[in-house]
Amino acid sequence: MRVIEVKNLSYAYFGASALEDVSFKIKPGAFTGVLGPNGGGKTTLVKLILGLLKPQSGQIKLFTDGWAQIGYMQQRAAAAGLMPLSAFEVARLGLLSTKKTPKIFNRQDDDATLQAMQNTGCAEFKGKLFYELSGGQQQRVLLARALINKPRLLILDEPSTALDSTSREVFFELLSKLNKQGVTILLITHDIGEVGKYVDSFLILDKRLVFHGGKQAFCASPEVTKYFGPYTQHIMDHLHHGGANGVC
Amino acid sequence: MGFVEFLSYDFAQRALAAGVLVALITAALGLFLVLKRMALIGDSLSHVALSGVALGLITNLSPVFVAMPVVMASSLAVYKISQSAKVYADSALGIVSAAGLSSGLIIAALAGGFNVDLLSFLFGSILAVSGAELALALVLAVLIFGFIYLFYNELTALVFDEDFAQTAGVKVRRLNIALVLISAAAVVIALKVAGIMLVSAMIILPPCAALQLAENFKRALFLSCALSVAGVVLGVYAAFLLNLPSGAVIILIDLLILALCAGVKKYAFKKRILTKAD
């Protein structure tokens, strides 16, 4: 059983390699933290999984029934700009994948939107313009948009960059709750500290797949030690003291 | 001459009908283009339109009908070039604009220089709109508003966040191509109203004015259309009374409307701050 299967995946931008021969499988219900340096191929991997880029070699198999079962939340709404959309309207866009043209929303869609906003704690500012919200509020709206279809697979690309420490805690608790309800989560981050407490497996990308496994294997892996070098002890300490429940 | 008397003339009725249709088309489409940061596509394609118009004049065919396929083909070129990751969208617009303007000037020179017909396209000549051009504007208005109605939510997603739209199953490529083709058609049909030099302003100014005041997207769409129609009606009448080029007068009125909307927004914002402080 798997939700994502990636086989020998490679991708290059104008000859500059971004991913090289990456293979892995994600099981249903896994909460996987994807780590790696800037330029390590994390976002490229997400774009390939989502079909925003086409693999140049290798393949990706998704075991979901179409886009409606995949929730996607990126760092920030890329082009939100000054578009006068309310938080409610932005969250409701998540239902587009369930509609056929003309994709017109109905009362049930509005109810589902409100429910998703209540679940992510953003219903109170549903009528406010999205661009007037704080970074943390915007993230909650985008999470509501990603969750509105009750996805089986949730892909988040550095979702906590605009959040303060309290909001982060609330945000990750929410993800943890969803994961316990059976949602498979792929979380891209460059900060191992913030995810150590919540994820059950790690995937380290530095163009190639450096490591993929559970927390215990992560702590024991010489590859991880080799990869993180002098920072290894700091990371292990963080996983140990910072909430990895003593795994390391 | 009073406005009612002005309306009794056939040419005035035709001019206003064409102007209102063009105002609706450019304002509605312009809102999506402005928010998608593609507002200057109108500028670029209007330069291309010069070569189409010049070609029409040199071949004794209708300049608008010759310009239409030329500008539509160029809009696809803009899309294709901007999809190349090594050329930014604004550079793609610049490339197509340069190609259109230079070829237009050469064709005009070969035709013996700028004659009255070509000048009327450069600066707009709404009072000379033909019946066929009015019919074309009507057909385009129906098609464009039908397109916006059918794809409203998909266009909203596309403009708000293209990557997300794609993951939500929106056919992003097809929609983008449709958007540039419609923009091309809108530019050509707006040539007689605003002129090649100012057509892009009709795409940019009313949406920018509407965005100053609108509190949601649908209201912005409605307001953009309403302000654009107001600008055209006032502009056409003023141009007739003062014997000035219609395009320039319409755009000046659009600019005044934008300044007024920005002022109202600033005043409303200050009032809100003061109310909160109290």
Q: Average pLDDT across each block of 10 residues of chain A; the chain has 248 residues. List them in order.
A: 88 90 93 88 92 92 72 69 89 90 89 92 91 85 90 87 76 88 89 77 89 82 72 64 50
CA atoms of A156 and A188, how far apart (whole Å): 6
Which residues of A are less than 8 Å from B87 in CB distance?
none
**3-class secondary structure for B6-39?**
HHCCHHHHHHHHHHHHHHHHHHHHHHHHHHCCCC
Summary mean pLDDT of chain B: 89
If pLDDT is split at 50, 70 and 90, which confidence band does B159 have? very high
- Mapped onto helix, strand or coil, the DSSP state of residue A220 is helix
Q: Are A151 and A179 in contact (CB under 8 A)?
A: no
- Mapped onto helix, strand or coil, the DSSP state of residue A86 is strand
Taking an 8 Å cut-off on Cβ atoms, the answer to whether B151 and A90 are in contact is no
Asked if B218 reaches chain A (Cβ–Cβ under 8 Å), the answer is no
Is residue B173 over pLDDT 80?
Answer: yes
Name the DSSP class of B276. Answer: H
CA atoms of B162 and B143, how far apart (whole Å): 24
- Burial class of residue A248, CB neighbours in 10 A (0-12, 13-18, 19+): middle
Taking an 8 Å cut-off on Cβ atoms, the answer to whether A89 and B156 are in contact is yes
Mutate to test the interface with A, among B32, B150, B153, B204 (most CBs of A within 10 A): B153
What is the residue whose two structure tokens read 């004015």? B209
Is residue B225 over pLDDT 90?
Answer: yes
- Mapped onto helix, strand or coil, the DSSP state of residue B106 is helix
Q: Tell me which residue of A2, A6, A19, A74 sits closest to A210, measured CA to CA.
A: A19
Taking an 8 Å cut-off on Cβ atoms, the answer to whether B165 and A51 are in contact is no
B153: closest chain A residue by CA? A103
Helix H or strand E segment including B141: helix B131-150
pLDDT at A244: 46
B216: closest chain A residue by CA? A84
A176 - beta bridge partners?
none
Is residue B247 over pLDDT 50?
Answer: yes
All structural domains of chain B, each given as residue ranges with its CATH number in brackets, are 3-271 (1.10.3470.10)
Residue B55's Cβ-side half-sphere holds a number of Cα atoms within 13 Å equal to 18
Taking an 8 Å cut-off on Cβ atoms, the answer to whether A79 and B170 are in contact is no
Taking an 8 Å cut-off on Cβ atoms, the answer to whether B215 and A129 are in contact is yes
Taking an 8 Å cut-off on Cβ atoms, the answer to whether B37 and A96 are in contact is no
ipTM over 0.90: no
pLDDT, tens digit (0-9, with 9 covering 90-100), for B189-202: 988 888 887 888 99
Asked if B152 reaches chain A (Cβ–Cβ under 8 Å), the answer is yes
Q: Are B31 and B85 in contact (CB under 8 A)?
A: no
Q: Are A235 and A192 in contact (CB under 8 A)?
A: yes
Closest partner residue to A97 (CB to CB) among B159, B168, B219 is: B168
pLDDT at A246: 45
